[in-house]
Chains A and B, each alone.
Chain A
Amino acid sequence: MISTDRAVPSYRLAPNYRPFVMPALIVVCAVIIFPWAFTVWMSANDWTLGQARTFVGAENYINLALDARFWESLWHTIYYTALAVILPLFLGTIAALIFDEQFPLRGFLRGVFVMPMMATPVAIALVWTMMFHPQLGILNYFLSLVGIEAQGWIYDQATVIPSLVIVEVWQWTPLVMLIVLGGLAAVPREPYESAEIDGANGWQKFRYLTLPMIGPFLMIAVIIRTIDALKSFDIIYAMTQGGPGTASETINIYLYNVAFSYYNIGYASAMAIIFFILIVILSFVLLIVRQCTVWSQAGDGK
């Protein structure tokens, strides 16, 4: 019998696979680990671009805690995010419930409805800035038709954040709708018949069946929207640059200003790190909440 033993002859070295991991490792270090480590390091320095750098330890963080403008921008961020999550969630769910029904031209209308999602932020900003214009904008014209006085929209400190949120809602409600539509498609039909027999009316069926069954999908929408809204920069920057005054300055805008208008890299790095920690904590909270809404094997994403 011919031997088919193909074991590695003992005089060869045992294979070493480490080199194969190196490229990936290098890339990860270069684009993830290094920037982060560098940011942390920068945040421990007083460093304005073009000037001398001095190590200051935690001083940037202490200054941050005492910086009223930082706290204000944090509040703006929370305000903006809360509105930009809740409104699209609410409207998107209603839209999904409507588009879940059968009616003529459904596919076409759904396509139209989804379009804002595909537009470029800067173009959107341009169009909405014009629409918001107090004298020339079409929104005030519509208000005048129904007898409401003209608003300052993004040019008024009191209304600038809600106005920006209107743009956000317009653009991202369709995304929530798509997610919730997916959820509705996964909802089984039979329980509705049981509920009918158990004596549930339309509202009760929605409250006790539909809502909990699409719960996991709503939570996905909340997570995506929250992260998106927290990071939101382009539309705000293109429309108001954080103004009027600092009325719409979110952390992102403030961070940008500190880093690229004042070139205060150390301080900006400290802010970035605090912001990052906040996002991570919030994401964990949302993930935990999401776990509680899970009712089916399919929904738990494991």
Chain B
Amino acid sequence: MASVRIVNAKKNFGAVKVIRGVDIDIADGEFVVLVGPSGCGKSTLLRMIAGLEEVSGGEIYIGQREVSHLRARDRDIAMVFQNYALYPHMTVSDNMGFALKLKKAGEQEMNDKVARAASILGLENLLERLPRQLSGGQRQRVAMGRAIVRDPQVFLFDEPLSNLDAKLRVQMRGEIRALHRRIGTTTIYVTHDQVEAMTMADKIVVLHDGLVEQIGTPLELYDRPDNLFVAGFIGSPAMNFIDGRIENGEFKAIGGLALPLPEGLPAGKFAGVELVYGIRPEHIRAKADGIQGTVDLVEGTGSEVYAKLDCQGQAIYCLFRERIQIEYQQSLCIGLDPSLVHIFDKATGKRVVV
């Protein structure tokens, strides 16, 4: 087990700058999730940590050791690949035992470790199969097993669940967390699925275009997103963004809609500045004397009601956790809690500190 420190890491592919200076500190035993949209450089960053991709700048430390220019095999990390990358010609047990075989571990030790990993992952009955005779979920578990038997300093996971069906994904999510609780190895986990990030992480790193947008616990990111990107990325359904300015102590949207401001905002300071008003759909309630709008769209799932309102030309999405009767084109009044409102500077995208 070890901490991981990434200092100003950069990666260029020719002229393309994929990672543009990333700093991350990961404590020993922490479960860190890297999230970001497709193509933002998550896999690349992970491969840099693994040593499969040469760094173009900056340093990477595992424990006290600088590993930036070490070969992958000297870094003592284990990785689960996005596509599993199993050895196609080896049985499940050979796949899992391969690293030990290379280390010239004894037959007995190898069998013990493989058997233990297999029982953790429920692979006991598949040990003699070849990868092509397994389902996607089983392959994914073999890839995990291969990592577990290693007993490495750091686990690296690259979207290991992306090929699974929704149900299996939820189940594996829990199993990976349980595994981490049990063996406590520092883990870096890449995903583009923000639900996975929120449910699994001790700490989330939001990556966008090769830069870190924000680092924090899942709830920090949810409650206080640093910028528009994080605000829009974390949370589902996505946050409402309303463009406008502050006028007379109120937020005036472009279409003229007036919205309440959070307390303590130095309204005067922002007079005339173009701002973005952010409110999460789940923080909007139906309220008799609130803002009036027309229902444009209703989707009920039984447990919640999702609606799109047209309030003076401004689209506002609402998520009601209680069951309320609304009809298409009916008029509905909503209220929002000013303390749950986020204000961003439109020009910089940064959160306006409240």
Q: Give chain A's interface residues, CB within 8 Å of chain B.
A: 188, 190-191, 193-201, 204, 208-209, 212-213, 215, 295-297
Quick check: B81 and A213 within 8 Å, CB to CB? no
In angstroms, Cα B87 to Cα A196, docked, is 12
Minimal beta-carbon separation of A34 from chain B (angstroms): 46
Chain B 121-153 near chain A by CB (<8 Å), digits 1 or 0? 000000000101000000000000010001000
Quick check: A197 and B89 within 8 Å, CB to CB? no
Minimal beta-carbon separation of B169 from chain A (angstroms): 21
Selected from B81, B87, B102, the residue in CB contact (under 8 A) with A199 is B102
Known: A188-B85, A197-B77, A198-B102. 12 other contacts (CB 8 A): A193-B52, A193-B72, A193-B79, A195-B87, A197-B52, A197-B73, A197-B79, A198-B73, A201-B73, A208-B98, A213-B89, A297-B132
Q: In this complex, which of B52, B72, B78, B79 has the most chain A Cβ atoms within 10 angstroms of its Cβ?
A: B72
Residues of B within 8 A of A201 (CB): 73
Quick check: B73 and A200 within 8 Å, CB to CB? yes
Residues of B within 8 A of A200 (CB): 73, 98, 102
Quick check: A188 and B73 within 8 Å, CB to CB? no
Does B211 lie at the interface of the complex (its beta carbon under 8 Å from any beta carbon of A)? Answer: no
Quick check: B103 and A295 within 8 Å, CB to CB? no
What 5 pairs between A and B have smallest CB-CB spacing? A295-B89, A190-B85, A198-B99, A199-B73, A194-B85
Chain B 246-257 near chain A by CB (<8 Å), digits 1 or 0? 000000000000
Quick check: A191 and B85 within 8 Å, CB to CB? yes
In angstroms, Cα B81 to Cα A191, docked, is 10
Selected from B71, B88, B150, the residue in CB contact (under 8 A) with A191 is B88
Chain A interface SS verdict (over half):
helix
Residues of A within 8 A of B98 (CB): 195, 198, 200, 208
Quick check: B85 and A193 within 8 Å, CB to CB? yes
Give 17 pairs: A residue, B residue, CB < 8 Å, sorted on A: A188-B88, A190-B84, A191-B87, A193-B52, A193-B79, A193-B81, A194-B79, A194-B86, A194-B87, A196-B51, A196-B73, A198-B73, A198-B102, A200-B73, A204-B102, A208-B87, A295-B89
What's the count of A-B pairs with C-beta under 8 Å?
A: 67
How many of B's residues come within 8 Å of A, CB to CB?
27
Residues of A within 8 A of B84 (CB): 190
In angstroms, Cα B89 to Cα A296, docked, is 7
Does B312 lie at the interface of the complex (its beta carbon under 8 Å from any beta carbon of A)? Answer: no
In angstroms, Cα B52 to Cα A98, docked, is 23
Selected from A196, A199, A208, A213, the residue in CB contact (under 8 A) with B88 is A213
Residues of B within 8 A of A204 (CB): 102
Nearest-CB residue, chain B, relative to A293 = B89
Chain B 32-55 near chain A by CB (<8 Å), digits 1 or 0? 000000000000000000111000
Q: In this complex, which of B71, B81, B87, B103 has the most chain A Cβ atoms within 10 angstroms of its Cβ?
A: B87
Q: In this complex, which of B71, B78, B85, B89 has the most chain A Cβ atoms within 10 angstroms of its Cβ?
A: B89
Nearest-CB residue, chain B, relative to A214 = B89
Minimal beta-carbon separation of B172 from chain A (angstroms): 19
Minimal beta-carbon separation of B24 from chain A (angstroms): 20
Does B83 lie at the interface of the complex (its beta carbon under 8 Å from any beta carbon of A)? Answer: yes
Minimal beta-carbon separation of A294 from chain B (angstroms): 9
Residues of B within 8 A of A213 (CB): 88-89
Quick check: B132 and A296 within 8 Å, CB to CB? yes
Residues of A within 8 A of B101 (CB): 208
Quick check: B130 and A196 within 8 Å, CB to CB? no
Minimal beta-carbon separation of B154 from chain A (angstroms): 11
Residues of B within 8 A of A188 (CB): 85, 88
Q: A198-B146, A296-B88 are in contact. Are A190 and B73 (CB under 8 A)?
A: no
Nearest-CB residue, chain B, relative to A296 = B88
Nearest-CB residue, chain A, relative to B89 = A295
Q: In this complex, which of A191, A194, A295 has the most chain B Cβ atoms within 10 angstroms of its Cβ?
A: A194
Residues of B within 8 A of A296 (CB): 88-89, 132
Quick check: B87 and A209 within 8 Å, CB to CB? yes
In angstroms, Cα B51 to Cα A195, docked, is 12
Residues of B within 8 A of A215 (CB): 89
Residues of A within 8 A of B102 (CB): 198-200, 204
Minimal beta-carbon separation of B180 from chain A (angstroms): 19
In angstroms, Cα B147 to Cα A194, docked, is 10
Nearest-CB residue, chain B, relative to A211 = B89
Minimal beta-carbon separation of B94 from chain A (angstroms): 9
Q: In this complex, which of A194, A195, A197, A295 has the most chain B Cβ atoms within 10 angstroms of its Cβ?
A: A197
Nearest-CB residue, chain A, relative to B156 = A197
Minimal beta-carbon separation of B76 from chain A (angstroms): 9
Residues of A within 8 A of B52 (CB): 193, 196-197
